[in-house]
Every structure is written in C-alpha cells, then in structure tokens.
Amino acid sequence: MNLRISDYFERGKKIKIIINEKTLEAFEGECLSIVLFISNHKNLRLSPKKKENRGMFCLMGSCQECVVLLDGKKVTSCNIFIKEGMVIKTGDLNEF
C-alpha cells in the first residue's frame, strides 16, 4: 500500500538520500522521521544503558527519541526536512 496520500497535496520533487550507505528515494521537504518510519527504518538508535532499539515516538520535538546522525551530527530527525544527498546513519550512534 502506498502510505503517502496525494489527494490534497502534491509533494516536492523526488530526491535521493543515503541511509546507512544505502540509497533511499523520497520527496524533498518531507520530515526525516516520517520518511524513515514508513520505509522500514524504525530502529533509529540504541538506548544509553540497556542498548535497546529506539525509534520515533512523539514526533513533536519533546521526547528526543528520534535522534540520528545527519552528516555526522546528532539531530532529532523529527524537525529535519530532507534535501538531496543527505547522509544519515542510525544504530549505535556513539560508534561512529
């Protein structure tokens, strides 16, 4: 099923971003958290003590769970709007 609904809006142009060294097609300006969530990248990082998988949770900048590495810097992915060529890493963020 196409999870992107286009009854009310046209999305931005098709672009490519890089997630864990693999290319992913998405639309310019989409929220990074949502793009990752609907393209089977639900595991974003590991929790500090138990090293359990964590992912997007509140989607409004409150919980800080959706942190990923964007071009080498830690960011909350819920307030990132994607652009062509962004390089994203998920997983054990302290390893990189």
Partner 1 sequence: MSFKNKYDVIVIGAGPSGVSAAITCSKRGLKVLVVDSNENSGGQIYRAPPKSYIIKNKKSLKENLIQIKFSEDLKKNNIDTAYNHTVWQVSPGYKVDAFNDNVTIQWTAKNLIVATGTYEKIVPFEGWTTPGVIGLAACTVMLKSHHTLPGNKIILAGNGPLLILVAYYILKFGGKVEAIIDTSSKFQWLKSMLPLITNPENFIQGISWILKIIFSKVPIYSNSIVKKATNNEDGILVELKNIKNKKLKKINTDVLAVGHGLTPSTDITRLLRVEHIYNELKGGWIAKIDKYFRSSMKGLYITGDGSGISGAIAADDKGKLTAYTTLYDSNIINENEFKTKSNKILKKLNRYEIFAKGIAHLNSTPKELIENIDDNTILCRCEDITKKEIIHAIKKGAKNLNQIKTWTRFGMGPCQGRTCHYSVARVASEQLKCEVKDLSYLTGRTPIRPFPLDKAIGDFEYGEITKVEAAPL
Give residues in contact with partner 1 (CB under 8 A). Answer: 1, 3-13, 27-31, 34, 37-38, 42-44, 47-50, 52-65, 67, 73-74, 79, 81
Q: How far is CA 15 from CA 23, 25, 35, in A?
A: 10, 6, 12
Closest approach of Cβ 22 to partner 1, in Å?
A: 18
Please name the residues in contact with 85: beta carbons below 8 A apart, sequence gap of 6 or more.
15, 16, 17, 18
State the minimum distance, in angstroms, from the CB of residue 25 to partner 1: 15
Measured from the CB atom, the residue of 18 and 83 that comes closer to partner 1 is 83
Enumerate the β-bridge partners of residue 54.
Answer: 45
